[in-house]
């Protein structure tokens, strides 16, 4: 110890670590100029090589500072240097820019797990490397409780720049599309800055999900876009929500907003995020099978839902007419199966039905062609459905015939038929193969339809937009990336769909599948679908309830309604009118078994004819059941001529059974008794036709049985 040290009684001063300084966490934010100004010449020269592409560094500090300050302020230079950082320093940098004031202790960085675990010693080494390169300052706290602890700090202006550069890299679908995810990704200081203007009482320390609920409540009260000062931009964003579901390409914003040209990307992002309504993103979703198409303006899912709800509250979409299919699809499917059973229909090797036969089938359908569904499309749905449900099959002679399931189809209850078709539609593959997302979304669509159920029509895209946006926000939680990768592992160019295509496919599924099945009614204006309404049949189907008839206790309640329980009018000219009062799907289904639909209007018209009644008798109905059904559901007594004709037509039906087999005859009954006493022969017996004759399933060819019969003195002649 020196004499000076002995005289003052002070301890030897320890040498400070390179790149570190003693400050209090309460000190003001570090800026780049101050950060570099405290560095030694040797430290600046080491940074110089990293920031100036290995050029020979000057020897004077003044000559080192200005170029380094300029480099640390330049966005492209900083971006390029971040890209060449190794894995651990880059991860530490990402964690630091999410901390309050861009400063954190070692323990804070260890806890800031972004789905990757890093040990403390790895963080220390990475922080030292970042310090040498000029990204981080290593400070030591002077507070009594934490004296000596290291604090890692990024200069505030450099931190702002890096935070913007790493923004997309740190954000996933949840952070981009959902308000909760966005709030959870903000630094504490930035979060406070967003929440404070909305409601001073919001606690930035709360859970992101809870904060999002509180923010949505504030936005609902104030107006979802009240925080946007520019009225034209406000109107444009509202149109983007209603017409495009809250997702619109930056280049297309001009189409909905007159003042869009006045904003650059950074300015627009700041406006949206400051108001907590949305963001601007270039998020790459190719690994999920989604293609945004470029820089995209995103309204957060919950904010878009508010705007869609506001639009829905404005009233029912204006429309010219309402299309309601009820059970028309079932009626035409049964008609097709009847033609298959009674008419020789040939098909090509590829199972395509010939054009002439197709027109004959279409002429028998009661489906009403309109802008929503043309005849060719309807035939394709039914034809594909018949094969998909295994109701028909192709013979060796290239003819259609009913399968065992097809023969039993007519006797199934309405609930079983509708349920089978709906299950088929849920899993149906699309011809172009671009069904990866829509097949996953169909059940979500059904659930959203029931939750949004209303007696009024919903805008046609209301439910598809909500379902699609929720899907995009939860891509990672749903494991979509892995499923997409596994399905298209060996595909050279995996198909990717835009958000607009997802919406279009969901609308198409509603119009081309749920509407024909009677799950929804559609409001039409100018030939285009503009609104949807869930039917009672649809609600019961989606909830898994029995699709009971209008006359059942479930449909009418204890007291019932005479009018809704009696929807039929049976006229003496054999015409039956079915009025759409109450749930008449079960009535229409049963009526279609013995009557032919002639008109599909608001009041459906049927005609009772001999062929239809005979067909129903063959399928298992009786004349008493037919008349009992009519009497139960008709408003007036069934005319006597109708009752008489139905009974007469039913009595005309006589059954003849034909069977294939082998008839064996003997000269006396005892010989046949001995023959049938042999066990191997008894197993072939179908029926004993007479004392000396019996019908066997197949000839007796087993040599052991023949040898045993010869022992009994029985020989085949």
Which residues have a Cβ under 8 Å from the Cβ of 389 and sit 6 or more positions away? 405, 420, 421, 424
Query: Do residues 164 and 279 touch, judged by C-beta distance below 8 A?
Result: no
Q: CA dist 394 to 385, 407, 429, 458, 526, Å?
A: 15, 15, 21, 43, 42
Output the six-digit token pair for 384.
Answer: 């594909």
Phi/psi of residue 634, nearest 5 degrees: -90, 145
For 500, the enclosing helix (H) or strand (E) is helix 499-509
Q: Tell if the pTM clears 0.75, that is, is over it.
A: no
Give CA–CA dist 160/119, Å, rounded.
26
Q: What is the pLDDT of residue 22?
A: 47
Give CA–CA dist 229/206, Å, rounded.
28
Sign of CA dihedral 589, 591, 593, 596: negative
Within 13 A of 413's CA, how many CA atoms are on the CB side?
A: 7
Query: Do residues 366 and 409 touch, judged by C-beta distance below 8 A?
Result: no
Q: What is the pLDDT of residue 326?
A: 77
Output the six-digit token pair for 600.
Answer: 């599909």
Which ranges in 375-498 belong to alpha helices (H)? 375-388, 404-408, 414-427, 436-451, 462-473, 480-487
Q: CA dist 46 to 37, 43, 69, Å?
A: 14, 5, 14
Q: CA dist 541 to 116, 453, 551, 585, 606, Å?
A: 45, 13, 18, 12, 26
> Could you read off the pLDDT of 195-249 as tens digits, one per residue?
888 877 777 777 889 999 999 999 999 999 999 999 999 999 999 999 999 999 9
Burial (CB count within 10 angstroms: exposed 0-12, middle 13-18, buried 19+), residue 102: buried
To the nearest 10°, the Cα dihedral for 311, 312, 314, 316?
Answer: 130
Which residue ranges of the chain lie beneath pLDDT 70? 1-28, 113-116, 142-148, 168, 367-369, 548-565, 582-583, 600-601
Q: What is the pLDDT of residue 78?
A: 87
Largest interatomic CA distance in the chain: 144
Strand order through the sheet with 568-570: 568-570, 575-578, 604-607, 596-599
Helix, strand or coil, per DSSP, at residue 600: coil
> Could you read off the pLDDT of 561-620 as tens digits, one per residue?
334 468 888 888 888 888 877 667 788 878 888 887 777 667 878 888 888 888 888 877
Output the six-digit token pair for 246.
Answer: 């809250």
Q: Which domains does the chain have, with CATH numbers?
A: 20-167 (1.10.10.10), 171-313 (no CATH), 322-543 (no CATH), 553-652 (no CATH), 662-711 (no CATH)
- DSSP summary character for residue 57: P
Give CA–CA dist 364/611, Å, rounded.
14
Phi/psi of residue 206, nearest 5 degrees: -70, 170
Q: Which of 50, 70, 48, 71 is nearest to 60 (CA)?
A: 48
Which residues have a Cβ under 8 Å from the Cβ of 249 and sit 6 or more positions away? 292, 293, 294, 295, 296, 297
Q: What is the pLDDT of residue 472?
A: 95
Q: What is the pLDDT of residue 28?
A: 59
Q: Which of 228, 220, 47, 13 is nearest to 129 (CA)?
A: 47
Residues shown for the chain: 717
Q: CA dist 678 to 662, 701, 708, 716, Å?
A: 17, 13, 8, 15
Phi/psi of residue 405, nearest 5 degrees: -65, -35
Q: What is the pLDDT of residue 297?
A: 94
């Amino acid at each position: 110890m020196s004499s000076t040290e002995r005289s003052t009684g002070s301890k030897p001063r320890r040498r400070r670590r390179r790149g570190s300084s003693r400050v209090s966490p309460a000190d003001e934010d570090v800026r780049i100029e101050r950060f570099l100004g405290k560095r030694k010449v040797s430290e600046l020269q080491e940074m110089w090589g990293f920031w100036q592409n290995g050029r020979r560094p000057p020897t004077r500090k003044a000559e080192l500072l200005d170029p380094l300050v300029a480099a640390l302020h330049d966005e492209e230079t900083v971006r390029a240097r971040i890209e060449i950082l190794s894995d651990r320093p880059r991860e530490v940098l990402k964690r630091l820019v999410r901390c309050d004031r861009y400063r954190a202790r070692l323990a804070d960085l260890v806890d800031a797990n972004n789905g990757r675990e890093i040990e403390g010693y790895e963080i220390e080494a990475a922080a030292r490397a970042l310090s040498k390169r000029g990204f981080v300052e290593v400070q030591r706290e002077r507070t009594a409780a934490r004296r000596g602890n290291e604090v890692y700090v990024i200069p505030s202006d450099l931190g702002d720049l890096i935070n913007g550069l790493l923004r997309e890299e740190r954000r996933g679908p949840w952070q981009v599309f959902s308000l909760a995810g966005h709030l959870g990704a903000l630094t504490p200081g930035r979060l406070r800055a967003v929440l404070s203007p909305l409601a001073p009482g919001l606690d930035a320390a709360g859970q992101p999900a809870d904060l999002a609920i509180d923010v949505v409540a504030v936005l609902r009260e104030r107006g979802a876009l009240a925080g946007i000062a520019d009225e034209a931009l406000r109107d444009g964003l509202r149109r983007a929500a209603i017409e495009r579901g809250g997702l619109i390409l930056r280049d297309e914003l001009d189409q909905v907003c007159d003042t869009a040209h006045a904003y650059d990307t950074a300015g627009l992002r700041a406006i949206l995020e400051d108001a907590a309504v949305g963001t601007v993103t270039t998020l790459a979703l190719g690994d999920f099978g989604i293609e945004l198409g470029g820089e995209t303006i995103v309204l957060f899912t919950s904010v878009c839902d508010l705007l869609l709800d506001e639009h829905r509250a404005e009233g029912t979409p204006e429309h010219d007419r309402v299309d309601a299919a009820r059970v028309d699809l079932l009626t035409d499917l049964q008609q097709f199966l009847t033609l298959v059973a009674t008419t020789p229909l040939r098909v090509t090797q590829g199972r395509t039905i010939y054009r002439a036969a197709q027109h004959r089938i279409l002429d028998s359908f009661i489906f009403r062609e309109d802008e929503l569904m043309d005849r060719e499309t309807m035939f394709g749905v039914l034809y594909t459905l018949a094969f998909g449900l295994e109701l028909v099959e192709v013979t060796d002679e290239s003819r259609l015939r009913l399968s065992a399931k097809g023969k039993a189809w007519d006797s199934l209850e309405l609930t079983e038929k509708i349920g089978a078709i709906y299950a088929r539609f849920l899993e149906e593959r699309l011809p172009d193969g671009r069904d990866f997302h829509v097949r996953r979304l169909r059940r979500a669509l059904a659930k959203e339809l029931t939750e949004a159920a209303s007696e009024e029509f919903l805008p046609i895209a209301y439910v598809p937009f909500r379902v699609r946006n929720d899907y995009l926000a939860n891509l990672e939680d749903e494991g979509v990336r892995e499923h997409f990768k596994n399905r298209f592992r060996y595909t050279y160019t995996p198909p990717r769909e835009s958000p607009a295509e997802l919406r279009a496919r969901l609308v198409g599924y509603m119009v081309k599948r749920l509407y024909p099945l009677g799950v929804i009614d559609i409001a039409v204006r100018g030939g285009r679908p503009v609104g949807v309404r869930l039917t009672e049949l649809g609600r019961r189907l989606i909830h898994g309830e029995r699709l009971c008839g209008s006359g059942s206790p479930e449909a009418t309640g204890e007291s019932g309604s005479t009018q809704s329980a009696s929807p039929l009018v049976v006229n003496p000219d054999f015409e039956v009118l079915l009025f759409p009062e109450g749930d008449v799907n079960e009535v229409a289904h049963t009526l279609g078994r013995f009557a032919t639909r002639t008109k599909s209007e608001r009041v459906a018209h049927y005609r009772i004819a001999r062929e239809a009644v005979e067909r129903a008798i063959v399928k298992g109905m009786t004349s008493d059941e037919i008349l009992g059904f009519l009497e139960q559901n008709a408003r007036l007594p069934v005319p006597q001529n109708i009752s008489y004709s139905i009974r007469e037509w039913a009595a005309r039906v006589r059954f003849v059974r034909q069977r294939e087999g082998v008839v064996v005859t003997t000269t006396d009954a005892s010989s046949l008794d001995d023959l049938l006493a042999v066990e191997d022969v008894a197993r072939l017996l179908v029926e004993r036709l007479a004392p000396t004759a019996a019908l066997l399933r197949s000839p007796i060819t087993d040599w052991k049985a023949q040898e045993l019969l010869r022992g009994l003195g029985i020989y085949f002649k």
